[in-house]
Structure 1
Amino acid sequence: MTKPNDLLPEGLEDRLPLEAARITAAMRACLDVLAAHGYDRVRPPLLEFEAALVGRMAGVSVGERSTMFRFVDPASLRTLALRSDMTPQIGRIAATSLAAAPRPLRLAYCGDTVVIKASQLDPARERLQLGAELIGSDTVAAAGEAVMLAIEALKAAGLTGISVDFTLPDLVDTLAAKAFPLAPEQIEGVRRELDTKDAGGLRAAGGSAYLPLLYATGPLEGALAALRDVDAGGALKSRLDALEAIAGHIGDAARITLDPTERHGFEYQSWFGFTLYAEGQRRAVGRGGTYRIAGSEEPATGFTLYLDRLAEAAPQPEAPRTCYLPLRHDRAAAARLRFEGWRTIAQLAEGEDPRALGCDYVLEGGEPVAI
């Protein structure tokens, strides 16, 4: 019987065996891909001083910073915070403990993050975040590597129908500097209206020159052509050439689209950002791009995969054969089975039902026998 104290807080849930197995299999597959490409895993702590976390979150709004759980450390009397994103922690490690490590530095990570309040579209307050950061390089080659690595990791986890949506986070700043001048107080309004795809609001914000950007979206080839037509005076040529080169690196590994004005989730990205989607998932399964580590200003390119979310679309891993071990069984034979990849369940008392415990075999005479 469920008691009131057994209920979990809103946005938190238990992961039962089948779901936990699917998440674990996806995590292992993704981490294996990252390791195979030379990314070394680091494990930052779940909580640290709030000032350190916030100090590495350049471009993130005060409202988003307030989503972190905070409390006072009784040892130091300083404010601690539970991480809501692991990327700032990777930046801190790169700028401190690994500051002298050779560049480019390739790091991978996986761990839980929590927020005080989630969105209505994604009510989960605890998320398992997995990703990679390529630090010390701000090139097309680095961006191409990050995108391809994310695609390969998703495929290794069993996802299909992968698509990548490119964006240009600093598009307004780049155009406002010369091609389509804006007063400083107009820039944020134009960004907001472009992000919401509101043509009327864009005109009201003084961004009429930016209206063609609303229609430079869709499959990459057509969207790029439309964006090149907008590119007054060649202000975006280098960026558009870079997108074309990154797309060439991806080839036919994924479907590629472009939404140059998308800003949600790209608050601290610089010239390039991308969102990952997969068949069977209505929401994004990952996001990445280029940025600079706050404090050190070192360039980096990386991505985050939302492991809990992508595991919903990943196939259920095949369960290993399970063998029941009777009382006083042959321990050497049981050890051999486990070495060969079997799963074993040992009998603890009389009257147990091997089938009810999930066993298809029983150990007899040192060999597994089908029940």
Structure 2
Amino acid sequence: MSTFGLLPEGLRDRLPPQAQALASLLRTLTDVCASHGYERVAPPLAEYEASLASGSSRERLRFTDPVSQHTLALRSDITGQVGRIAVTRLAQAARPLRLMYAGPVLRVRGDQLSPERERTQAGAELIGSNASTAVAEILAVAIEALAATGLSGLSVDLTMPSLVADLAAAGWPLGEASLAQVQAWLDGKDIGTLRAAGADAFVPLIAAAGPVPAAIAALKQLDLPDPVLNRLDAIASLANGLTGVTVTLDPTERHGFEYQTWLGFSLFGAGLMAEVGRGGAYHVQHPDGRAEAAVGFSLYVDGLVDLGLGQDSPRRVLLPAGTKAAAGAQLRRDGWVTVAALAGEDAATMRCSHIWADGAVQPA
């Protein structure tokens, strides 16, 4: 069977007007980031696999470079590439370093909520700090950028990826289980297994999820070490500073936050089944082994296109054959999209709302 005209599963063509909507949304998102001082970088689509620090290795498509004979991989995430740039080519740049990016990523396979294997990712990274002030800035920029696209019903789900490990290190008993097992059971909300293994102390963490004030109040009823209490105060302050969005806290959620530290977040919007973005605090590793604090977010733009966002209604005017070039040039300067008729095409066929006639723009 011929595969001409077919695409592999999980890949698709973007046609008009969705392709233009994608470009428009990327411009909107990156313009908001740029207005906050974030400068754009553009890492390559493929790198030596060993250099791709973020994204699961199971999600990467690999191939052998015919030039170097080394294994290359197509990126499944851009965050790690930005971190590599920050600690190599921009290692001497002043901190905090504000960088942004936009481009395609490719996964080996999709999932139920996001079956696409190729996605367009845009985001921003603040390298040099992951203090609460840095997290507040990054979250505010992400929310402002999404709001600028027209996405409504924005909500933020906060999590504390390192909480369980920190509590175990502070002496909370794991019973007969390992830390990894307790984390997995918490991920699955498996209260029965936690109790059977003697890790009862962690069970109340499952119920301490919901709106931030109630979740923090429930957590503060537990015997928490001072660093965790301070972290909760920072989260409360952070949530109070976010206006116009719903903010919740699930302290044990770790899926997709494997490399985040004290705080992670997911972003949601009305009409979207899956998250539209995620981010959080993390560390990037310098070549000498030194860890540098960072915080950032990644946005998944294709869902916004599928919602119909970014589809402007361009003012398209048909220029009949013989229209003077100067007339068309002036119309374009005035913000019109001009379509020149080559062989008597009509306005409806060319999707033009107007036509140039008698020296003026007329409704078609």
Give the aligned partner of residue 367 of structure 1: 360
Match for residue 255 of structure 1 among 246, 259, 266: 246
Give the aligned partner of residue 45 of structure 1: 44
1:315 positional shift: 3.2
Match for residue 339 of structure 1 among 320, 328, 333: 333
Identity %: 48
Structure 2 vs 1, CA of residues 3 and 347 (structure 1 numbering), >3 Å: closer, same or farther? farther
Give the aligned partner of residue 276 of structure 1: 267
- Secondary structure of the equivalent of 2:173? coil
Once the two structures are superposed, the pairs formed by residues 70-149 of structure 1 within 5 Å of their partners are: 70-149=62-141
Give the aligned partner of residue 350 of structure 2: 357
Separation in structure 2 between the aligned mates of residue 38 and residue 235 of structure 1, nearest angstrom: 31
The letter for the 2-side match of 1:39 is Y
- Secondary structure of the equivalent of 1:51? helix
Structure 2 vs 1, CA of residues 186 and 40 (structure 1 numbering), >3 Å: closer, same or farther? same
1:232 positional shift: 3.1
User: 1:114-164: per-residue Cα shift (whole Å, max 9, x none)?
Assistant: 011222332110010000000001211001011111111110010111110
Give the aligned partner of residue 216 of structure 1: 208
Asked if structure 2 preserves the Cα contact closer than 8 Å seen for 1:333 and 1:367, the reply is no
Give the aligned partner of residue 324 of structure 1: 318
1:26 positional shift: 1.9
Give the aligned partner of residue 6 of structure 2: 7
Once the two structures are superposed, the pairs formed by residues 224-263 of structure 1 within 5 Å of their partners are: 224-250=216-242, 252-263=243-254
The letter for the 2-side match of 1:35 is A
Asked if structure 2 preserves the Cα contact closer than 8 Å seen for 1:190 and 1:206, the reply is no
Asked if structure 1 preserves the Cα contact closer than 8 Å seen for 2:177 and 2:199, the reply is no
State whether structure 2 residue 289 is matched by structure 1 residue 298. Answer: no
Separation in structure 2 between the aligned mates of residue 263 and residue 95 of structure 1, nearest angstrom: 26
Asked if structure 2 preserves the Cα contact closer than 8 Å seen for 1:194 and 1:261, the reply is yes
State whether structure 2 residue 161 is matched by structure 1 residue 162. Answer: no
**Structure 1: runs of 5 or more not aligned:** none
Runs of 4+ in 1 over 4 A off after TM superposition: none
| Larger helix percent | 1
Separation in structure 2 between the aligned mates of residue 183 and residue 36 of structure 1, nearest angstrom: 51
| Aligned residue-pair number | 361
The letter for the 2-side match of 1:12 is L
Structure 2 vs 1, CA of residues 40 and 205 (structure 1 numbering), >3 Å: closer, same or farther? farther
Once the two structures are superposed, the pairs formed by residues 177-188 of structure 1 within 5 Å of their partners are: 177-182=169-174, 186-188=178-180
Give the aligned partner of residue 69 of structure 1: 61
The letter for the 2-side match of 1:243 is I
1:205 positional shift: 4.1
Structure 2 vs 1, CA of residues 323 and 310 (structure 1 numbering), >3 Å: closer, same or farther? closer
Separation in structure 1 between the aligned mates of residue 12 and residue 353 of structure 2, nearest angstrom: 31
Deviates more, 1:156-165 or 1:10-19: 10-19
Asked if structure 1 preserves the Cα contact closer than 8 Å seen for 2:25 and 2:310, the reply is no
Asked if structure 2 preserves the Cα contact closer than 8 Å seen for 1:68 and 1:81, the reply is yes
Separation in structure 1 between the aligned mates of residue 195 and residue 340 of structure 2, nearest angstrom: 72
Asked if structure 2 preserves the Cα contact closer than 8 Å seen for 1:179 and 1:232, the reply is no
TM-score by length of 1: 0.93
Asked if structure 1 preserves the Cα contact closer than 8 Å seen for 2:314 and 2:337, the reply is yes
**Structure 2: runs of 5 or more not aligned:** none
1:48 positional shift: 1.0
TM-score by length of 2: 0.94
User: 1:25-60: per-residue Cα shift (whole Å, max 9, x none)?
Assistant: 22221111101000001111111111111xx23xx6
